[in-house]
């Protein structure tokens, strides 16, 4: 058996501070707001809080564009308030993990200002500057150094008139990519990381950390039919030096710290084989990766090409990750984060069976092998919101996509439908604390509209309700703490070809758990020996009123059985 690192029995809660709780009425969440809501986290029982970025930022990408790594943005508070928050969390036995965004900085970061100052700036090489494509006129369309598109639409290159060169930005033009080939860049990042650890934080969630090593020739990417730009991802996802950099970071920053830390690598496009290397404890890179395969199963040609949900594809994906990291390495488990639509709207039923399907989805996820993440509001069964037109969206990704797609001739209504389904703003509407007009989030005007369903779906209504989604999530967190088979047991997927029922077992020594979830709104037979082999089993978790073990599952029913 693998060693029992503390985070194997832990549950992480993600806070997106902008949308969590606003203490000063400016309509934007802040650190004091989080401090005021610590009881919520303690009640839920989570072990770790991951705080999305709170550093000074022009907020082009809501803080994922950082202009100063060693301070707090005044919108969120200041360093004293931050220290108070850390002390408050630690006082309740909750660890704090900061977001580390070091693939890129803001273009307003001092490092970039210096780099941009001129060709002979000592920091010129801290970013990816390149001349125009040979034989072209700099600054004209098609003169970009290569054909890569940015994740936020348009070219991945921005022309700088002063020097006549371009800089690379995989995300927005206000997020220039740092050049990790330069050892000074790496040292500067490591120094900054040590500074936060010295302040008492317990680790990092490392944003797009598998993008930091790039194929230095930056070759043109394949242009798919109907696309304007080439795909640069083969040259930036898990590039040639990625393992070397992460191991170096480990040596330079984490080695020698003997308190428990959590190191999470967010890695879009990572393969299960590579994840097994990144998370092999003997290699000393990261503890777990945050991968995206299972949240891509309903996306075809890009994220706006929405495909129907097929449970078999979901099982195939999660099952492969469970198997691939069974012997070595570790999974992160999540349905939601601040970049994903709400899971109850995506894989569940956000209408008639919202509560029951939210509980089923939570159960299936939390019973997998890995460390579960709860994204704020998921524990209430929050769903996708209402966006009447493009003016209701705030996210740069959504706004840029709408502009580019409609300019290229797409039907605006169709673009809006895709944004409403997949858009990141679904995750970013204010946390629903109570049923009052602004959901208890702010006394001012919220920076993004509150989901109208807060009247019904809110924390205040759920705390003391033994049947609420919140109470169910509490139970799931408890179970990970109290039942060793949940944290450490092995995993076997069952009924792989069944299009309706999710089923698996977890086994540890003399204990076997059977987890069932009906992913449909109809009663479904379960092709397992429930009436015989599992007849006398203990029912650990259910989401129906009159639980009885039968050979079928009610609509959206979930069941966790134990036999010992």
Active-site positions read 207, 266
List residues near ligand ISL by CB under 6 A. Answer: 61, 64, 101, 151, 171, 207-208, 268, 303, 338-339, 397, 424
Choice between 264 and 439, CB closer to ligand ISL? 264
CB 180 within 8 A of CB 71: no
Q: How far is the CB of 216 from ligand ISL (least distance, A)?
A: 21
The encoded tokens of residue 244 equal: 């070397």
Choice between 284 and 306, CB closer to ligand ISL? 306
Give how far Cα 173 sits from Cα of 57, 67, 392, 445, 553, Å: 14, 14, 23, 29, 50
Q: How far is the CB of 98 from ligand ISL (least distance, A)?
A: 14
Choice between 304 and 504, CB closer to ligand ISL? 304
In which residue are the tokens 């369309």 written? 141
Count of residues in the chain? 564
Kindly report the three-state secondary structure assignment for every residue of 522-535. Answer: CCEECCCCCCCCCC
Give how far Cα 387 sits from Cα of 16, 413, 422, 438, 506, Å: 20, 12, 12, 16, 41
Choice between 68 and 83, CB closer to ligand ISL? 68
Task: Name beta bridge partners: 13.
Answer: 49, 374
Q: How far is the CB of 366 from ligand ISL (least distance, A)?
A: 22
Choice between 164 and 302, CB closer to ligand ISL? 302
Q: How far apart are CA 54 and CA 62, in angstroms?
A: 9
Q: How far is the CB of 405 from ligand ISL (least distance, A)?
A: 14
Q: How far apart are CA 299 and CA 306, in angstroms?
A: 5
The encoded tokens of residue 509 equal: 């020594």
**DSSP label at residue 149:** B
Nearest to 330 by CA among 322, 338, 340: 322
Q: How far apart are CA 180 and CA 242, in angstroms?
A: 10
Choice between 334 and 519, CB closer to ligand ISL? 334
The encoded tokens of residue 526 equal: 């379960």
């Amino acid at each position: 058996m693998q060693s029992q690192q503390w985070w194997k029995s832990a549950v992480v809660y993600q806070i997106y501070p902008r949308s969590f709780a606003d203490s000063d009425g400016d309509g934007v969440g802040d650190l004091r707001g989080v401090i005021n809501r610590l009881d919520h986290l303690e009640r839920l029982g989570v072990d770790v809080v991951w705080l999305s970025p709170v550093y000074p930022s022009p907020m082009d990408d809501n803080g994922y564009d950082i202009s100063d790594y060693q301070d707090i943005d005044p919108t969120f508070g200041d360093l004293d308030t931050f220290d108070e928050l850390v002390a408050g969390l630690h006082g309740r036995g909750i660890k704090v993990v900061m977001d580390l965004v070091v693939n890129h900085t803001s273009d307003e970061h001092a490092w970039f200002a210096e780099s941009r100052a001129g060709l002979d700036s000592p920091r010129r090489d801290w970013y990816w500057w390149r001349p125009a494509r040979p034989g072209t006129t700099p600054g004209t369309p098609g003169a970009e150094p290569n054909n890569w598109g940015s994740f936020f639409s348009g070219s991945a290159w921005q022309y700088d008139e002063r020097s006549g060169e371009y800089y690379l930005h995989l995300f927005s033009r206000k997020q220039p990519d740092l050049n990790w080939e330069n050892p000074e860049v790496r040292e500067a990042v490591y120094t900054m990381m040590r500074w936060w650890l010295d302040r008492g934080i317990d680790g990092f969630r490392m944003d797009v950390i598998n993008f930091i090593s790039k194929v230095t020739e930056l070759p043109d990417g394949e242009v798919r039919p109907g696309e304007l730009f080439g795909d640069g991802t083969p040259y930036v996802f898990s590039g040639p030096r990625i393992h070397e950099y992460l191991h170096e970071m480990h040596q330079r920053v984490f080695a020698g710290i003997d308190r428990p830390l959590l190191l999470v690598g967010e890695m879009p496009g990572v393969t299960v084989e590579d994840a097994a290397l990144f998370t092999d404890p003997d290699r000393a890179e990261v503890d777990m990766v945050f991968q995206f395969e299972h949240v891509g199963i309903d996306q075809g040609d890009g994220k706006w090409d929405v495909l129907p949900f097929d449970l078999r594809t979901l099982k195939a994906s999660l099952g492969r990750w469970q198997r691939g990291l069974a012997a070595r390495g570790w999974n992160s488990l999540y349905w939601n984060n601040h970049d994903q639509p709400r899971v109850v709207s995506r894989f569940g039923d956000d209408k008639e069976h919202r509560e029951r399907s939210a509980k089923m989805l939570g159960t299936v996820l939390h019973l997998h092998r890995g460390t579960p993440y709860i994204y704020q509001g998921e524990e209430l069964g929050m769903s996708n919101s209402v966006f009447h037109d493009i003016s209701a969206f705030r996210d740069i990704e959504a706004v840029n996509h709408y502009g580019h797609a409609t300019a290229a001739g797409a039907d605006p209504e169709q673009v809006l439908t895709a944004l409403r389904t997949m858009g990141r703003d679904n995750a970013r509407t204010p946390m629903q604390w109570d049923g009052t007009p602004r959901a208890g989030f702010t006394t001012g005007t919220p920076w993004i509209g509150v989901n109208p369903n807060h009247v019904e779906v809110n924390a205040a209504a759920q705390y003391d309700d033994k049947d609420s989604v919140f109470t169910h999530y509490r139970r799931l967190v408890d179970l990970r703490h109290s039942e060793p088979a949940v944290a450490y047991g092995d995993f076997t997927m069952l009924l792989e070809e069944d299009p309706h029922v999710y089923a698996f077992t977890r086994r540890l020594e003399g204990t076997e758990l059977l987890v069932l979830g009906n992913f449909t709104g109809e009663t479904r037979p379960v092709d397992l020996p429930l009436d015989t082999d599992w007849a006398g089993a203990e029912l650990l978790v259910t989401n129906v009123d009159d639980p009885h073990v039968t050979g079928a599952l009610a609509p959206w029913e979930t069941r966790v059985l134990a036999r010992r």
